[in-house]
């Protein structure tokens, strides 16, 4: 044994937190993607649109990265839980035969 112990509940909580932050980032990206309207002097709205397009793209990338991280943590949670359940089942089987 390595002495390492995974806390499955913490992994599940971390995945949920990452999902929540990913959702907030997606909402921010969608908020920027609504257009700027008429902002006065010629060119201002064009420049603002370029800026918001850049930030929208960046935020969507961050969202995708957070969603992927959440899925990875969720997968780790499922694997640790399955391994723990299998080990407990095997130990019960061994105890039954003793």
User: CA torsion angle for 67, 72, 74, 80 (degrees, to 10)?
Assistant: -170
pTM higher than the cut 0.85: no
**Number of structural domains, the chain?**
1
- Per-residue confidence of the chain (98 residues) as pLDDT tens digits? 567 788 888 999 999 999 999 999 999 999 887 766 666 777 887 888 888 899 999 999 999 999 999 999 999 999 999 998 998 899 998 988 87
Let me know if residue 54 belongs to a domain. Answer: yes
Structural domain range at position 53: 8-33+44-96
Cβ(8)–Cβ(77) below 8 Å: yes
Let me know if residue 1 belongs to a domain. Answer: no
Let me know if residue 38 belongs to a domain. Answer: no
């Amino acid at each position: 044994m390595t002495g390492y112990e995974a806390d499955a509940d913490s992994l599940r909580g971390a995945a949920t937190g990452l999902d929540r932050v990913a959702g907030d980032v997606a909402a921010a990206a969608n908020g920027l993607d609504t257009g700027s309207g008429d902002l006065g002097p010629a060119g201002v709205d064009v420049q603002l649109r370029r800026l918001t397009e850049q930030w929208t793209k960046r935020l969507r990338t961050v969202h995708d990265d957070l969603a992927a991280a959440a899925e990875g943590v969720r997968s780790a949670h499922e694997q640790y839980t399955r391994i723990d359940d299998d080990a407990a089942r095997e130990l019960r089987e061994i105890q039954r035969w003793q």
